[in-house]
Structure 1
Amino acid sequence: MDSIISYFLICWQKIFDYKGRARRLELGSFILLTIIMAAGFQITEQFIKEYIYSYSDLLHFDIFNITTKDDYVTKQHIFTLHTTSYVYLLLSIIPLLSTTARRLQDLNKSKYWILYLLFPFWMILIAFIGLFIKLKFGTDILNIPWLEKYWLYIIVPFLLYEILLILKLLFQEGESEENQYGQSPK
């Protein structure tokens, strides 16, 4: 009997396997359970830090907004990614890439199409790093005046494009017969 957890574990077992094909359910279950586990790690670490044992978290990733008004500095936390979630998400990148490559091969595309799939991701990542540096240090690393005003209009199309590519990978039917990458995973 196939279950979401078994497909999730298959992704971890085939962590460095870029040959063959992967089903839609394999990629979808990996993404779903990775998000659920990262959220669980996040909630658990926040609960431990707030109610059980307060400790200094050296590896957390804070996103906050600093505003000054009438010589008062206000720091407003927007989001915090704790150490366990951070480490788990970084470790999950490797099986995600291998599963995505095998899923692309199920669609009869080369595994190198993953570079095309990751292009919007890198653009979004660069924009968020620039935003983080601006919020954290108050300096604009690109120093482009119009970019400060219109950065959202640049990032949103890339984000929507990335979401559509992921949905295509998740919902498009793979080839039912054997292709150049192997037998159908069904």
Structure 2
Amino acid sequence: MTHPATLVEHDLVTSATGRRWLAVTRIATGFIFLWAFLDKTFGLHYSTGAAVAEGEPSLAWIDGGTPSQGFMTYATVGPFRDAFASMAGPVTDWLFMLGLLGIGVAVVLGIGLRISAVAATVMMLLMWVAEWPLLQGSTNPVVDYHVVYALVLIVCAALLAGDTWGLGRWWARLPVVQRAPWLR
């Protein structure tokens, strides 16, 4: 016999309400990545270019800004600072921006959540290491927003969050996805 508390927990996880809230969480998290791409591309002055004084050049990628290089060269701290600075270049700008765009679009649409969760986890891990919260006197030196974003996307992928308010079911029926389920 199943314990009544187990039934309540199961119903909550599989309920329409639970699935909808997971979809909202997925879309919001995807939009974080998509917005970062848009802001860095066009210099919308939220995080990119917010400190640019009038008359100074834009930090927008389309205006010649370098979305990853400044961070990797000047904002990194900790034992891997020199490693990040030595890697900074146009290739890292392209990889970073394509990663933000790909993760953002896929997660908002609810497709390719497994590969998006892996890509986002790698990106967030690298950014966590680059900011090295263990030395900065962070409010939490272990679990910060980088870790939370990665965990949210892993949960979304594991629970097929793209099937609710997304294109996940359609995506899963594509022959290429059926042959390579890791694309789900």
The answer to whether TM tops 0.5 is no
Structure showing greater Rg = 1
Structure (1 or 2) with the greater strand fraction = 1
TM-score by length of 2: 0.29
Structure (1 or 2) with the greater helix fraction = 2
